[in-house]
Amino acid sequence: MSEDQAHYPPVDPVRVGLRGRCPRCGQGALFDGLLKLRPRCAACGLDFAFADSGDGPAVFVMLIAGFLILGLALWLQITYDPPLWLQALLWLPLTTIICLTLLRLFKGVLIALQYRNKAAEGRWDRNA
């Protein structure tokens, strides 16, 4: 990650991450499409090559969406006992929508937090 030479007012990483905005200026778009990152910010020129959210967003989404959808599906099954085709018709599209929405939100937040905390890949210090 290259050092910033310009001075930008601090932005809230959670707020800009949820909005999908640049973690440095808070103005430019972070995403080019649903989940693909842009190469750089159109407003301040920050290179997004440093951004690597890894599997973190996917883990959060699986835990949250799994708990929510599985709990609701079990409640519906125990309470009303609908047929299996109705369960599939209801929960498969809802699961897809919830997972994609949460994945974009969590990915934006984790990239903004990565920028704010200057997180980078671990390296061995050979001089120690």
With 90 as the cut, is the pLDDT of residue 3 above it? no
CA 4 to chain centre: 24
Q: Is residue 128 part of a domain?
A: no
Strands annotated E in the chain: none
**Taking a C-beta distance cutoff of 8 angstroms, is the pair 57, 76 a contact?**
no
**Mean pLDDT along residues 48-71:** 94
Q: Which two tokens stand for residue 10?
A: 């601090």
Q: 99: phi > 0 → left, psi -120 to 50 → alpha, else beta; which?
A: alpha
Average pLDDT score over residue span 98-121: 94
Domain assignment of residue 19, yes or no: yes
Q: Has residue 71 been placed in a domain? A: yes
Query: Is 1 part of any domain?
Result: no
Residue 124 lies in a domain: no
Residue 23 is assigned to a structural domain of this protein: yes
Domain membership of residue 3 (yes or no) is: no
Predicted model pTM: 0.85
Q: Looking at the predicted structure, is the pLDDT value of residue 91 above 80? A: yes
Structure tokens at 3: 């050092």
Judge contact between 91 and 69, C-beta under 8 A.
yes
Residue 16: exposure state from Cβ atoms within 10 A (0-12, 13-18, ≥19): buried
CB 48, CB 2: distance < 8 Å:
no
Q: Which domain holds residue 43?
A: 13-116
Q: What's the total number of domains in the chain? A: 1
Q: Does 77 map to a domain?
A: yes
